[in-house]
Each structure stands twice: as structure tokens, then as C-alpha cells.
Amino acid sequence: MMSPVSNKQFWWLLIVVAAIWFANLEYRTLIKPDEGRYAEIPREMVVSGDWVTPRLNDLKYFEKPPLQYWATATAYTVFGEHQWTTRLWVGLTGFAGLILVWLVGLRLFGREAAGYAALLLSSSLLYVLMSHINTLDMGVTFFISLGLFALLLGQSETNVKKQRNWMWLAWAGMALAVLSKGLMGIILPGAAVFVYCLVQRDFSVLKRMHWLSGMAIFLLITAPWFYLVMQANPEFFDRFFIYEHYTRFTTKDLGRYQPWYYFVPILLAGALPWTVLMFDAMLRSAFGKGSPRSAGTGKPFNAERFLLVWAVFIYLFFTLSGSKLPSYLLPMFPALVLLMGKRIAEMRERVLFWQIAPVVPVALLWLVLAMNVGRLADTPNQIALYPNYSIWLVVASLLMLFGLLSGMGLLWRKHKLLAVLVLSLSALLSAQVGLSGYNTVARERSAKHIAEAIRAEVKPAIPFYSVLTYEQTLPFYLQRTFTLVQYQDEMGFGIRQEPERWIPTLTEFAGVWASQPEALAIMPVHVYPMLQQLELPMKIIFEDTQHIVVKKP
């Protein structure tokens, strides 16, 4: 049994985890594309005062709903525009996920399993990394988890009033998930519930959904923004509901197609250092009796089976998708760690010892790779930068090795709680050190150094052109937008709605440039000779291996 943890020890542990968790939100430079994009859209909301129509580079941008934009824009308004405020929402929702898992585990499986589950989630590699990188995936993961866990607790509740309240929270969680990243916030949980009903051959769950009041709550939360944005932008419906949901899932249109086995290494690495435990817990849940809780009607509700169905369904759903990114697996992890926490609480120390042991050679391999990361460079920029990253990765690998070996030693002496605690904190520190060290090579994927070099030349009244490129992080660091020249990419839809906001060809740009008394332009290095051939008057004010910035002399 796990040694009891006093309230004082619990709060000290929470403070330590929080300090490590939030320590580096400001330290790292924003990198493209996601961190730049999701920092800039809220900035433009604050500047324009329009919190209904999302814009990127002053062009309509309807890929995702606005909840995270609103949260970040609020952080800007209260605390100012900083690197840490751009990441505050993902950091907070990631940390809130730890608390959520603990609270749900406490009700379902007891204090011991709940504590283990929260520690496992705080140290799972993919979850930690994505809680500190500004994308939309952590926010939607938290609210989907909130919705599913509330549904799980509601279905396990015998008191009708309490059951209704849990189901209302489930509907609210799914509504906020929809406002975080679209219809996946309701479609995926709904499909998973249906699959659970099929697997268990129990459709009584559907009778306890409180459909009318639940849908009313769902629409009360989601409908106002959808109504306002469609009223202001008639083109929204087709772009958001048809292209962004149906087309993205069923086609290779976005260039994110990957083979069916793409997620295998992502899951294996993302669950570290608990990968073997994860499979053990899943197999036990699949073939064991589980932990059913009576809901008063129909068959007993099997909490373990529901969590397993959700995790497997997410994996298979995105495996079948035509668009794949590593972060798509995030919603699996809160469910998985609850199963894993319950499994650790039941197992003997020596069993966990042998499940941790296979990770040691993986950590040793990482250490070897860390010492030789400079050999992976294949561009002049990487050759110059990668060796600086090596020391950070070496320290991260050593921290992981320390946690693994210390944890195994403690397990051998039958100190299970202390072993899991030491390994979890070591894994969290290791991930944070490795992530923070990326700042040494971030210059390759960030324009902060460009902004600092040219800031004195940039004035609000001087037009700034982005030629055959769009450096996602530069607008945030310069706090201004650009006129795109012969470049569309993800802003193609916005350009089609407002074509007057861009310049389609270099020839037209030459005429515009000639007519301006003052102007600035950024371009990839290879584009500069093309503009020279057009005899544009230009003076270079910044140049590196990737970009050139010029002004009109």
C-alpha cells in the first residue's frame, strides 16, 4: 500500500510541480509556425477590438474557433504581450489536467491510484512537451477530458440529481472543447460513447444523457459565437464546417498525410518513462473485470472499460485520418494515466521494477544521441547552432537516467511511492531542460533576432512587405502585420475574401515599391537576386542565412 501523504506534504508537492511546470514559459523564443500563429491572432484581436472574426496578418482566418484566442487576448490585456502570456493558456490547461485526473481518480479508484495517475501525467513526455508549446491541442484535450470524466462520473452515480449535474458538466465540457478546436469536441466523445455501448452491449447509457437540458447548455455556450461570426462572415460556414472538418479528415489536402504506423513511435516515446506500464494497464483493463459502478439502471457502468475504449478510439480515429500530427494523441493520455495509476496501486514493487528497466537502454541511447547531436545538422545554420543544444540534451538525458536508476533502486527496496515520485519529478525536469535548451537553436525557426535587429527602422506609417514568404513569429515581435507579395499558403482563403490586401506578383510589387517614399520588405535569401533583376532600389538592413530585410533608400 502507498504510504499516506499528509495534507502539508501534498501542498508542498503541488507547489514544487507547479514551479517546475511554469518556470520556462517566458524563457523560450516563439518558434514557427504554431507558436507564432497562435500568439499573433489574439494580438490582432486586442488591436482591432474585433473578438468575433479571427484574423491572421489582418486576413480572415477561420481554421479554428476562438476560445484560446480569447484567453490569450485576455492575458495580453491584463499582463501585456510577452512570450509567457502567449503560452499561459496551454500551461494552465495542461496543469489543470493534472488536478482533474487526480480528482476523478479519487472518486473512481481511490486516493492511492489518483496520486499515481496525476504523477504519471505530469511526467509523460508528450503531455509535458505539449503543455509548454503554444498549440490548440492542450486546451481541447483538457475540455474533452472534463466532458468525458464528468460523463463517466455521472453514469456511475446512483443519485438522480447528482447524475444530472455531472451530465450538465459533461455537456459544458464538450461545448468548451468545440469552442477550442471545432466539432471534434462533440463528435469524438459522442462516437466513443457509442462504441462503448456496442462493446458492452449496453445502450442504457444513452438514456441517462439528459439530452434536452444538456443540449440546451451546449448550445447556450457554443451558439452565440457561431451566430455572430456567420452573421459577420457569410463565407464562414463552408470554410469552417465543410473544409476544416470534412476535407481535412478525408483527404491529403494539407500535406499532413502520414502512413498508418505514424503514431506508433509517437505513442511509444510520448508515454515515456511509463510506456511498458501503459500497455500492461491497457491489457488488464481489456481482459479484466474492471471496476464497475452501478448507475442504478441497466447494466453496471464499467469505468475502466470506458477509459480504455476512449484511448483506443482516439488512436484509431486519427490513424485513419488523412491529416496527422503528434499532438493529436494528447486526448488519450488523461484516460490512460487513470488506468495506469490504478494498476500501479495494485501491483507489487518488483513488477513495476521490471516495467521501468527497459527504459534504461532508451535513456542511454538518448544520451549517446545528445552527445552527437551536432552530426545531425545538414544546413550551415544547423551546423552552427546544434552543438550548443548538445549540453542541454546531455543534462536532460542524465536527469532521466538518474530518475530511472533511483526509482529502480527504491522499488527494489519496496518504496513504491517514493520511487514513482522521484522518477516523475526527474522525468518532468528532464523534459523541461530538453525543451528549454531548444532556445539555443530556435533562431532557425524564429524571427525574434530579426525583429531586434530592424526595430529602429520599423515605423507604423512605413509599409512593410513580405515577399514570397511569411515568417510566422515576426508579426508578434514587431507588433504589426505585413502586406504579402506572391505568397498565400494558409492565408489563401483570407486573400480570396479580401484580395486588395495582397500583391499577387513580383512585377506588380515592383510598381508599388517604386511609388512608395519609404518601404520595408523581408524575403528569403534566394528572392533578393530576383528583385535585383527588376531593378528595385533596395538597401539591405538585415541578412542571415535564411532572410534578407531591405528598405527603400
Q: What are phi and psi of 271, to 5 degrees?
A: -90, -5
Cis? peptide before 33, omega within 30° of 0? yes
What is the DSSP annotation of 294-361? --SSSSPEEHHHHHHHHHHHHHHHHHHSS---GGGGTTHHHHHHHHHHHHHHHS-HHHHHHHHTTHHH
- Residue-level pLDDT at 293: 44
Indicate the SS3 state at residue 539: strand
State how beta strands 547-551 and 520-524 pair. antiparallel
DSSP class of residue 253 equals: T
C-alpha cell at 222: 457554443
Beta strands in 374-493 (DSSP E): 464-467, 483-485
Distance CA 288, CA 283 (A): 8
Name the residue ranges covered by the structural domains of the chain: 100-347, 350-445, 448-551
Instruction: Give the CA distances from residue 480 to residues 43, 101, 263, 510, in Å, rounded to whole numbers and listed in that order.
Output: 9, 40, 38, 22
Alpha-carbon torsion angle 404, 409, 414, 419, nearest 10: -30
pLDDT (tens digit, 0 to 9) for every residue of the chain, 553 residues total? 445 667 788 899 999 999 999 999 999 999 999 999 999 999 999 999 999 999 999 999 999 999 999 999 999 999 999 999 999 999 999 999 999 999 999 999 999 999 999 999 999 999 999 999 999 999 999 999 999 999 999 998 888 899 999 999 999 999 999 999 999 999 999 999 999 999 989 898 899 999 999 999 999 999 999 999 999 999 999 999 887 776 666 656 555 568 889 999 999 999 999 999 999 999 999 887 544 443 444 467 899 999 999 999 999 999 988 778 999 999 999 999 999 999 999 999 999 999 999 999 999 999 999 999 988 888 888 888 899 999 999 999 999 999 999 999 999 999 999 999 999 999 999 999 999 999 999 999 999 999 999 999 999 999 999 999 999 999 999 999 999 999 999 999 999 999 999 999 999 999 999 999 999 999 999 999 999 999 999 999 999 999 999 999 9
Report pLDDT for 291: 45
Q: Which grid coordinates are listed for 258? A: 502520414
Q: What is the pLDDT of residue 254?
A: 55
* Contacts of 209-214 spanning 24+ positions with Cβ under 8 A: 209/167, 210/164, 210/167, 210/168, 210/171, 213/164, 213/168, 214/167, 214/168, 214/170, 214/171
Residue 459 per-residue DSSP state: -
> What is the SS3 assignment for 484?
strand
* E strands, 392-536, in order: 464-467, 483-485, 502-503, 520-524
Q: Parallel, antiparallel, or unpaired: how do β-strands 483-485 and 502-503 relate?
A: parallel
Q: Using DSSP, state whether 550 is helix, strand or coil.
A: strand
